[in-house]
Structure 1
Amino acid sequence: MGVNTFDEAGSSTFRPASRLATIGVSEILKITGLATELKRQGRDVIILGTGEPDFDTPEHVKDAAKCAMDAGSTKYTVLDGSPELKGAIRAKFKRDNGLEFAQDEITVSAGAKQVIFNAMMATLEAGDEVIIPAPYWVSYADIVLVMGGKPVFVPCRESNGFRLTAEALAKAINPRTRWVLLNSPSNPSGAAYAEADYRPILDLLICHPHVWLMVDDIYEHITYDNFRFVTPAAIEPSLRDRTLTINGVSKAYAMTGWRIGYAGGPSGLVRAMAVVQSQSTSCPSSISQAAAIAALNGTADIVKQRCRSFQGRRDLVVGALNRIEGITCRKPEGAFYTFASCAALIGRAMPDGERVQNDTTFAEYLLRSVGVAVVPGSAFGLAPYFRISYATSEAELREACTRIALATSRLS
């Protein structure tokens, strides 16, 4: 029997597992939760923290889910994805990326986050290192930590477009390095890697055969200004057998709640990830899998149309932020985030006399004073910046930028 702990009154108290000591709830979720509670209390709050398209799931995708339910496709499927969905994913990789995968080299999970979770659990030993360029999506580091691994952060400066350089990567690699994790286009910076950006990094990895490459391509179809998306395994075939290429339907097809992520990689790794999944969620939702098939096999017209809308919103936000004294904002190549610098505002006084100490206090000031919820760059491992998700209406974005300008003008 387990050992209970008791407080002085003799009642049992909860004792969390020690592995949770180094991680916490996502800063994005905390900020969004606080902003949502303020809205519930009647405050006029604009939430720009959540990375979720405001568009609805396309009708043909919803229709496919309804048909699946009517046909009785409501049972368990194959553990890591139905044959039909794996076939659609294989066709997508070949069509969009020039990558050919066998059926046993494809895995499907309840979201791209679970794909990453499965891969880390299947490969990391205690103390193994995962190199993560900063700024980074907040969950990367915590997933590594909960597996007993060690995240190694490599700062990527705005002067290089928030992209990792081969020189910086070379300094971080050592015998304990297990993975390098790349995300393009990036959450939170919107930075994307062209083939020329990837080439020196891939050349370096060729020289380190013990290091595997994990690539998060979830924003693949949201790029701007004729940017040409590429994925590393297509650029350097010699790395294919130690590369996991991750994607999903949540962002491009506005299917965040359907929870379908997938990946292509070496069959041995895919089998090990299936073992992990067998003891957690088992198969993804059968209904969601049917919907994902329709999304992947359907026309790309609606995705391109929505991408043009996102580009207009990007230009609106970047232009508005750069007109605010004390804020500068680089124009991102993709995703639906801006990562703006508030360095010039650090040290200024707020109306109550308190100082803006860092990007976190600046984000708190915006929420408290003008009701705009943004995420501080420190949550993503690089300060002093703040992230705005422009996956919301142009009207809200205009109002939010007006409020940010007003709050900033009150600093002295």
Structure 2
Amino acid sequence: MTVLREVAVVGAGAAGLHAAEALRRAGYDGRLTLIGAEPEAPYDRPPLSKHLLGGAWQPDRLALRGPEALGELDLDLRLGVRAERLDRRERTVHLADGGRVRGDAVILATGVRARRLPGATEPLAGAHVLRTLADALALREELKPGVRLLVVGGGLLGAEAAATAVGLGAEVSWLVSSATPLAGVLGTETAALLTGLHREHGVRIRRGVAEEVTRQRDRATGVRLADGSELAADVVLMAIGSEPETGWLADSGVPLEDGVACDAYCAAGPGVWAAGDAAAWPEPGTGRRRRVEQRTNATEQAATAAHNLLAGQEGDRRPYEPVPYLWTDQYDLRVQAYGRPGGADRFEVVDGSLAERRFAAACVRDGVVRGAVGIGAARALRAVRAQVAAGSPWPPAA
């Protein structure tokens, strides 16, 4: 077994920080380098589209750890510099500033980057993405009362940003490609509830496919749709998904398959591990590789990767077998979900009701509880979560 004297963690988000903490908690006392492309110390991303964008929080509240806690980790902290290449033979990470970081083992936690529409693939005034702290602050600066905001993309990020912008007095249009946005994530019934909630708050929901951002001189003016029509706006938010930050690994020999292709133990090859949004691992039960862009997944997978790195091939390795969890805050509601609520063929409310917007429900597919979703019914929802974890049949045994 290789003696670990130096470990490099590439990516200073939630996954990278939690990997470093897990290594220290487990007793690793060698050199530990944490590399981050952004200049900020590790911070939390979920509040970007809610508390920070809405102005309730300032950037300092996003910090995952204060200076003292970071100092106790005894990190070689490299912030504001991108990793450019991984030399597996030399076990070295090459940085954009010319620096080199050696690691007997490397944890890849570089996350994802936001997709952009044609016409705004390069920075353009009035055209925004929402991935980083800088992105959120730039968008917040433009969300004044009466401004016309066009949110492109029917996922959770777009929904949260639309709800936040309404609260700031913006006139919001939300461009989606399906009749019930969020159905694939939260299930049709919960998604329909949220769609109605957006309409109640004045969001104009438009259906169509955006092809490009339109512009006049050096500022965005809206988007052009696939049918040739145009939607005008003062500000455009492109919330159209993301891509794993793996381009820098192209010549490394690390297997890439819509992310870093790793095994059930989060290993992507000798001495290389992956965690977080960019990690694609075989899903328990199906064996299909899957990435999960969720905050809880980042921390849980990072802990597993760190554990297995220290355990080695002959040690007490454990497979990564999560019950995925997500939450979303929209207006005055918090929706929580476990497993995979989307695609269910039965939606069984076990507590409360959709009408009162307080419920817990089991999402059943092929006779098995595959997901759980709820609002304001945490105790009942945890009981359904246990059924998701166990792969329980529905209806449950008497």
Q: TM-score, normalised by structure 1?
A: 0.30
**Structure of greater relative contact order (alpha carbons < 8 Å, 6+ residues apart):** 1
